[in-house]
Amino acid sequence: MIELHLPWLDLSILLALVGAIWVGRRRNIERARRDALIVSAAVLGCAIGAWQDFGTLHTFEAHDWGDVLGTVGGRDLLVIDELSAPLVPLAALLYLLTILSTLLTKAQRFSFAWALAGEAILLATLSCRAPWGLVALLAAGTLPPLVDLLRRRKPVRVYLLHMGLFVLLLVAGQGMIALSTPGSAPSLAGVSLLMAAVLLRSGVVPVHCWMTDLFEHASFGTALLTVTPMVGAYAAMRLVLPIAPDWVLHSIAIFSLVTAVYAAGMALVQHEARRFFCYLFLSNSSLVLVGLEIATPIGLTGALCVWQSVAMSLTGFGLTLRCVEARTGRLSLDAFHGLYEQTPMLAAFFLLTGLASIGFPGTIGFIGAELLVEGGIGINPIAGTAMVVAAALNGLAVLHAYFRVFTGTRHVASIDLAICMPERIAVLILTVLLLGGGIYPQPGVTSRYHAAQRLVEQRARQLPGDAGQATALRGALSEHVTSSTLAPARRPVATSPPAPR
Amino acid sequence: MTYETIVALLGYCVILCPAVLLALLGLAQLAGRPLSERSTAQATEAAVLLGLTAAIGMLALMLMRGTRYVPIEFGNLVFIPEQHFHFHLKLIFDRLSVPFLILSYALVGTVGAFANRYLHREQGYRRFFLFYAIFLLGMVVASLAGTIETLFLGWELVGLSSALLVAYFHERAAPVVNGQRIWSVYRVADAAFLIAAVALHHATGEGDFAGLMGTGPWPGGHAALSSQQALGIGLLLVAAAAGKSGLIPFSGWLPRAMEGPTPSSAVFYGALSVHLGALLLLRVSPILDLSLTLSAVVVVLGLATALFAALTVRVQADVKSALAYASLTQVGLITAEIGLGLRYIPLIHIIGHACLRTLQLLRAPTLLRDYHRLENAIGAHLPGEHDPWGRWLPPRMREWLYRFSFERGYFDAWLDEYVIRPFVALFRWCDAAERRWTTLLSGGKGRESDQVIAAHEEEPL
């Protein structure tokens, strides 16, 4: 397999690990924060290096140069491919921005060392293709939030129960699939268990309560970093999508659609800001799993685009909420707080990220949502309608929260609540990405389209018999048919007439 | 320079002026370096004048050449050749869009000049002009939209800026609650519009208006739909238009919108926003032509709204609410005209009505002064209104009509009771059930959100 010019992946993971140990030895909070910031910036640099290096190779997958970790853990342990290439720097960026926007008032409760450890695990997860390696990393990824809960002496039973079940399902499912006869269809029971694990990790209704519980008890930063990279969706793409028969994907899509609408409704009636955020995130992230069911290049492209936009916009939204909480404490949504005049920039960013998450025109989420509906409606019109309903409810919830937090009264403060420089930098970086991705979406969409193509091809290759042929046919058909959607200017550009629907 | 080049330049100018204005005001505020009042006013004036000049230039060129349809393509925003997927922005200049565009620029420009003085040294001056820029861009895009998606883009920008402008005086709760209410109605309208667009595309495989309605310039064209398809899709479009234009049963948002500053009330809810629904119906008029039932629904909805608003306007206690319902009366009539198959008459009606209503609303803050001046001039009180119909109605009927009008047709109360309350009750029940479930799993440990709720409940009202 082709190799990168430098061991970017190894470097980024090891840097984060060494940084975690180094920062963990720091007793001075201010120095720990500074060191964590430097390490996470270096990790982001390596992650971007891997992404750019991969781009220059014009291949669909590549190993690290030398592949130190790969020689220890197996050939497919660390691989960068079309799917993971932009996800690795995205994950590193989310960590950097979270650490950057952690003010000293919050630093006591937020462990920088564990954040870096979590980053190392996440980067390894996103670079891993070996099934058992992925299972191990997904299991390891459940530890940093657990440590955070234990450090804060908060109840852990809900989290432990759910994550314990997640790991159990994952191991059992992968074990059954590993035991299947080579060349035959993978064990149905194994695929079902993997599906259940993915649904659980993604917080799909009715097994989503661990997520609300995590937001209740963990520090906001830890909770945010646990959910926004959407590791459950990654597990679905790597472990389930290539081998699952259609009915498994349909089941995931139905659960996810119900979650999208249900969580949007729940976000509207929440009394408290963190729970509201959790439901808003659940509703949006569920749409990524809906894209799985579509399993056509266009639908999957939409899902992958939504993945990126939701991760970015809702991390920004969560960070803004966290910045506001750092100034006021937990926020009730039953009362008006009137913080606009004190923190106009946070207000503007709250609105911008919230609107980006629902796919408002001009933001990065618009094209992704459009592609997703495009793909979904071709398979089932009800799916498209449900997505529209969920987006409408989420839009209501976002503005409702904005009005409650920033308007309705005049907030009188004895201290200056204006945005600080690190927060301002974090906000501006995300603003550029959210608006830039909305105004010039072509590079992002092209990259996600190539990744979607690979996933569809991989699925067609790995599924035996009719199911594989059906998937291949579905992918091929979608190349010749302009599927039905709200998109207007979408018509065949080839000279040949479109195939009959 | 060729005719095509000039047309393209004018087309780009029309759309780029508000876009650049929005970018300028928005980026300056995001960078923490907001423009001064003077610079904001100058930038706004320049953008509106340049855009208006370009729009008039386009009209003049089209009249000189006898062109009735000028499409301007902005290229592909996204292009996936293997999937034959391309997503491009397209604007069209025709007999419907050009008058609406010039009307938008003229009225928004007038109101901008008015607001520059009206809001001078207000704390939210820059915020107002930022939302103003979003609104202007939304109106221009919606007026010129050549595809369903472009129309949706403009439609969303108008909706967002409208809700934020209603909540302009955001240190008070009432404007904010009204802004939220308007956003809610708009989101319902948006959802109906999107579903209609999806269904339309599903039925025809087209999203381009030229493809959907035939290639003939507006108001010609024939939609390639069956009567049943036209009825189903048309009803969704009518629901979207009803939400956007405040037709019944969504009429409750219009007087609420008057909570915003007078300039925004004047141009947005009295003149332009309120006509967006009518614009949508005019744009998709070939679909209305396909179904007699659909046309009848539009006529009945329009007339019922006009009748309701004409009654309600008589019992309003403040001038802005009275003007809001007067506006709604005309919008109802315009809708009925569209349902009756008229095309140019409703367009002329929209232009005349929008201009008159803008003038009336901008004069509203000085109404008492105007009355005094008139009374001083004639040396007596102004004659009161005499209702010729009242004496023919039985007293109980008059009383019922009064209460019906005073309560604004009970539409808001009905929506609260039968839509919002059950929705909130259902999800609050789910929330309580989830809390009980996590409490059970965690062994009865408390949550911080419970403390936040309890603390809020203990706060004195």
pLDDT tens readout for residues A371-428: 887 777 767 778 888 888 999 999 999 999 999 999 988 888 777 777 888 888 888 8
Q: Which residues in chain A (362-381) have CB-CB distances under 8 A to chain B?
A: 362, 367, 370, 373-374, 377, 381
pLDDT in tens, B250-283: 888 888 888 888 887 777 777 888 899 999 999 8
Both A229 and A259 in one domain: the answer is: no
Question: Of A110, A129, A148, which marks where a domain is finished?
Answer: A129
Cβ–Cβ gap B438/A209 under 8 Å: yes
Residue of A nearest to B23 (CA): A435
Alpha-carbon span A79 to A128, nearest angstrom = 6
Looking at chain A, the number of H-run helices and the number of E-run strands are: 22, 2
| Same domain, residue pair A84 and A230 | no
Please give the average per-residue pLDDT across A306-331, as a whole number. 91
Beta bridge partners of residue A272, listed in sequence order? A332
Q: Mark A326-343 as b/e (b = at least 16 C-beta within 10 Å).
A: bbbeebbbebbbbbbbbb
* Integer Cα distance of A12 and A273 in angstroms: 34
How many interchain CB pairs under 8 A, A with B? Answer: 235
- Asked whether residue A325 falls in the same domain as residue A299, the answer is yes
Please indicate if any CB of chain B lies within 8 Å of the CB of A102: no
Q: How confident is the model at residue A491 (pLDDT cuts 50, 70, 90)?
A: very low
- Evaluate if residue A212 carries a pLDDT over 90: yes
Q: Helices A87-100 and A8-25, interaxial angle, to 10°?
A: 20
Q: What per-residue confidence (pLDDT) applies to A490?
A: 38
Residue A157 touches chain B, beta carbons under 8 Å: yes
Is A489 within the bounds of a domain? no
Task: Note whether A46 and A155 are same-domain residues.
Answer: no
Which DSSP state fits B178? H
Q: What are phi and psi of A79, to 5 degrees?
A: -135, 140
Burial class (CB in 10 A: 0-12, 13-18, 19+), B428: middle
Domain final residue, candidates A228, A244, A260: A244
A486 vs B153: CB contact, 8 Å cut-off? no
Residue A386 domain flag: yes
Contact between A395 and B188 using a beta-carbon 8 Å cutoff:
no
Q: What is the mean pLDDT of chain A?
A: 85
User: pLDDT confidence of B453, banded at 50, 70, 90?
Assistant: low
CA distance B42 to chain A (A): 24
Note whether A125 and A137 are same-domain residues.
Answer: no
What's the gap in Å between the CA of B386 and the closest CA on chain A?
A: 42
Tell me the average pLDDT of chain B.
Answer: 87
Q: Which residue of B has its CA nearest to A431?
A: B30
CB pair distance less than 8 Å for A330 and B449: yes
- CA of A311, closest CA in chain B: separation in Å? 21
Question: In percent, how much of chain A has pLDDT > 70?
Answer: 89
In a domain, A261, yes or no: yes
Question: What pLDDT does B457 receive?
Answer: 59
Closest Cα in chain A to B197? A486
Shared domain check, A74 and A47: yes
What value does the mean pLDDT take over residues B175-190? Answer: 91
Would you list the domain boundaries of chain B? Answer: 3-365, 410-458
CA distance B100 to B158: 15
Residues of A in contact with B451 (CB under 8 A): 330
pLDDT for B385 equals: 67
For residues A94 and A138, membership in a common domain is answered with no
Q: How confident is the model at residue A481 (pLDDT cuts 50, 70, 90)?
A: very low
Judge whether residue A115 has pLDDT over 70: yes
Q: What is the pLDDT of residue A463?
A: 67
Strand-pairing partners, residue A106, are none
Residue A74 has pLDDT above 80, yes or no: no
Say whether pLDDT at A47 is over 60.
yes
pLDDT at B455: 65
For residues B73-102, b (16+ Cβ closer than 10 Å) or e, as one string? eeebbbbbeebbbbbbbbbbbbbbbbbbbb
In this model, does residue A159 exceed pLDDT 50?
Answer: yes
Which structural domain range is residue A113 located in?
Answer: 1-129
Number of domains in chain A: 3
CA distance B72 to chain A (A): 13
Closest CB to B30 among A348, A385, A446: A348
Of B32, B202, B447, Cβ closest to residue A484: B202
Q: Nearest CA to CA, how far is A205 from chain B (Å)?
A: 11
Residue A492 lies in a domain: no
What is the per-residue pLDDT for B60? 94
Q: Residues A232, A313: one domain? A: no
CB atoms within 10 A of CB A391: 26
Please list every residue in chain A whose beta carbon sits closer than 8 Å to the beta carbon of residue B437: 209
Shared domain check, A369 and A259: yes
Q: b/e per residue, A430-466, with b = 16+ CB within 10 A?
A: bbebbbebbeebeebbebbbbbbbbbbbbbbeebeee
Question: What does pTM read for this prediction?
Answer: 0.90
Higher local confidence (pLDDT), A494 or A90: A90
Which residues of chain B have a CB within 8 Å of the CB of A161? 441
Residues A323 and A371 in one domain: yes
pLDDT at A492: 38
Instruction: Calculate the CA A82 to chain-centre distance.
Output: 16
- The last residue of a domain, from among A217, A244, A271: A244
State residue A78's pLDDT score: 84
Which candidate, B360, B332, B328, B364, places its Cα nearest to that of B346?
Answer: B332
DSSP secondary structure, B394-421, as one string: -HHHHHHHHHHHHTGGGHHHHHIIIIIH
Q: Indicate whether A99 pLDDT > 60.
A: yes
Average of pLDDT values for A450-462?
82
A477 in a structural domain: yes
CB A115 within 8 A of CB A97: no
pLDDT in tens, A263-285: 999 999 999 999 999 999 999 99
pLDDT of residue A135: 94
A469 touching B (Cβ < 8 Å): no
Reduced 3-state DSSP string for A164-191:
HHHHHHHHHHHHHHHHCCCCCCCCHHHH
Domain co-membership, A368 together with A474: yes
Mutation pick from B80, B148, B420, B429 vs chain A, by most beta carbons of A within 10 Å, is B80
Q: Which residues pair with B79 in a beta bridge?
A: B86
pLDDT score recorded for residue A472: 46
CA distance A489 to chain B (A): 5
Looking at the fold, whether A229 and A219 belong to one and the same domain comes out as yes
Average pLDDT over residues B358-362: 86
Confidence of residue A167 (pLDDT cuts 50, 70, 90): very high
